[in-house]
């Protein structure tokens, strides 16, 4: 599976294969009903046998888990549900001993509302240095009863919530995602310095790089537009954003070998996307255009050509056909495709359609799509379970759904829980990755179990032929 040469250590990510681990549902080492870091460490030899060059861990920081860990309360520690800093260090040491790099998720657009900075902001008055770390604004209308403008949250509802601080005219705070995820003010120098310090903290512990969540966000306009019809473009890809990434790249280059960044940047303009990987910026950004294309040869070809045009000349694109935010590939490709461009304002809409699914057809197409992706120059990212040909769990009971997208749209959006369920580590279905025998899992029901070997084995009929792993 690996494309790397033995001993290669410089720009190791070029033509590498990275395996995405959603820790919470990957493997439970202690029987408490949740995946954990020790479970990942136990599985590393299997991943090495599979030939992966890197593992990307979804957020493992302390978090109240309102958005599956993307609401971070402390950027310098490990969620005790997953383990400890010492356990994380052991994971890194084991991975490096097997020749596997370790990537973490960094979430710089917003924090948890339980982060000490936001708690301090709520306790401080308007105009204070504590509130300057986030985006607060006065409301509209009599007594400021209405939000500053009509910006929508990506998860549904308004992007503004009002502070309950006991004053006569409380401010509103911005949250482009859930109301428990207040947006940072990246025009504040303290915020910029804090994140450089956070990155250094993990780099010094041996972390090899970061995937940047919502990489096209962070910096907003210096003046918040008011009222109805407010311009939403000022929320994304502001010119000052690239000053931030240039400073991050300088930090990365201060290490030997250099550290690595890959951006999650949902940008519809190819020329703008190219700025993320300009010299001195990020090494790579995900070529999401391929992920969201319908199953038509002409659209796949055009997408690939377009991705190469905007990728960094030396680094190449970072390819992915699935991740924790979209329906499983087998399910998506088992639906009747629509020959149209993805909606530039909601590129993931077609990646979460709920139309009829032909799983046999989807499996055949998924194999073909994977063969295409693995043949392309650049880095390949494989989401956990895709090597098994797992399909989306669409029939989760409502009480098992946890995604704020489901909650904030009152069920209009199924959300992303169906691709985040526990992995089936055995064909019997009783011993999945995070469900201890005789006890209930704290996660949703597991993915459909396979007929024989567990996810990392190449057992006959195990489903591992769903991806053409050389």
Residues in the chain: 470
Annotated catalytic residue, options 28, 213, 315, 391? 213
CA distances to 58, 150, 213 from 104, rounded to whole Å, are 7, 34, 10
Cα–Cα distance between 167 and 246 in angstroms, integer?
41
Catalytic annotation on 165? no
Give the bridge partners for 320, in sequence order.
381
- Decide if 81 contacts 34 (C-beta within 8 A): yes
For 21, list phi and psi in degrees, rounded to 5. -110, 115
**Residue 185 contacts by C-beta under 8 Å, 6 or more apart in sequence?**
132, 133, 134, 135, 191, 220
Q: Which single residue is written with the structure tokens 């519809």? A: 268
On whether the CB atoms of residues 261 and 252 are closer than 8 A, the answer is yes
Helix axes 189-203, 241-253, angle to 10 degrees: 30
The two tokens of residue 387 are: 């090597």
Query: Would you put residue 15 in left (φ > 0), alpha (ψ -120 to 50) or beta?
Result: left
CB neighbours (10 Å) of residue 175? 26
- Catalytic residue status for 114: no
C-alpha closest to that of 332 among 370, 303, 293, 306? 293
Catalytic option among 105, 161, 264, 417: 264
Which sequence positions are flagged as catalytic? 213, 264
């Amino acid at each position: 599976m690996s494309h790397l040469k033995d001993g290669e250590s410089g720009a190791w990510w070029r033509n590498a294969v990275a395996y995405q681990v959603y820790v919470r549902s990957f493997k439970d080492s202690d029987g408490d009903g949740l995946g954990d870091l020790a479970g990942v460490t136990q599985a590393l030899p299997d991943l090495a046998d599979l030939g992966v060059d890197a593992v990307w861990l979804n957020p493992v920081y302390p978090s109240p888990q309102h958005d599956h860990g993307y609401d971070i309360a402390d950027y310098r520690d490990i969620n005790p549900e997953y383990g400890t800093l010492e356990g994380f260090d052991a994971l890194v040491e084991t991975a490096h001993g097997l020749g596997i790099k370790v990537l973490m998720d960094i979430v710089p657009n917003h924090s948890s509302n339980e982060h000490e900075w936001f708690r301090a902001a709520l306790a401080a008055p308007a105009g204070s240095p504590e509130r300057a770390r986030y985006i607060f604004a006065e409301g509209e209308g009599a007594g400021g009863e209405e939000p500053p403008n009509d910006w929508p949250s990506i998860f549904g509802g308004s992007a503004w919530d009002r502070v309950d601080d006991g004053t006569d005219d409380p401010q509103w705070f911005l949250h482009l995602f859930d109301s428990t995820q207040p947006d940072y003010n990246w025009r504040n120098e303290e915020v910029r310095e804090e994140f450089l310090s956070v990155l250094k903290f993990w780099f010094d512990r041996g972390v090899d790089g970061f995937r940047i969540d919502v990489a096209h966000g962070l910096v907003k306009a210096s003046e918040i537009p008011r009222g109805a019809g407010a311009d939403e473009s000022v929320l994304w890809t502001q010119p000052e954003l690239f000053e931030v990434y240039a400073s991050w790249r300088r930090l990365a280059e201060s290490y030997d070998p250099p550290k690595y960044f890959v951006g999650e940047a949902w940008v519809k303009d190819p020329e703008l996307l190219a700025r993320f990987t300009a010299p001195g910026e990020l090494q790579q950004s995900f070529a999401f255009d391929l992920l969201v294309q319908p199953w038509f040869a002409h659209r796949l070809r055009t997408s690939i050509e377009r991705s190469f045009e905007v990728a960094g000349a030396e680094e190449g694109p970072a390819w992915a056909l699935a991740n924790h935010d979209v329906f499983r590939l087998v399910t998506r490709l088992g639906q009747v495709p629509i020959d149209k461009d993805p909606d530039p304002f909601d590129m993931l809409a077609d990646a979460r359609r709920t139309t009829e699914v032909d799983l046999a057809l989807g499996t055949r197409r998924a194999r073909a799509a994977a063969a295409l992706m693995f043949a392309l120059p650049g880095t390949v990212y494989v989401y956990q379970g895709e090597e098994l040909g797992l399909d989306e769990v669409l029939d989760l009971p409502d009480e098992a759904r946890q995604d704020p997208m489901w909650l904030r749209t009152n069920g209009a959006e199924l959300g992303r829980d169906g691709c985040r369920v526990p992995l089936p580590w055995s064909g019997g279905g009783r011993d999945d990755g995070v469900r201890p025998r005789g006890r209930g899992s704290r996660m949703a029901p597991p993915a459909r179990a396979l007929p024989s070997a567990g996810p990392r084995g190449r057992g006959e009929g195990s489903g591992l032929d769903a991806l053409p792993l050389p």
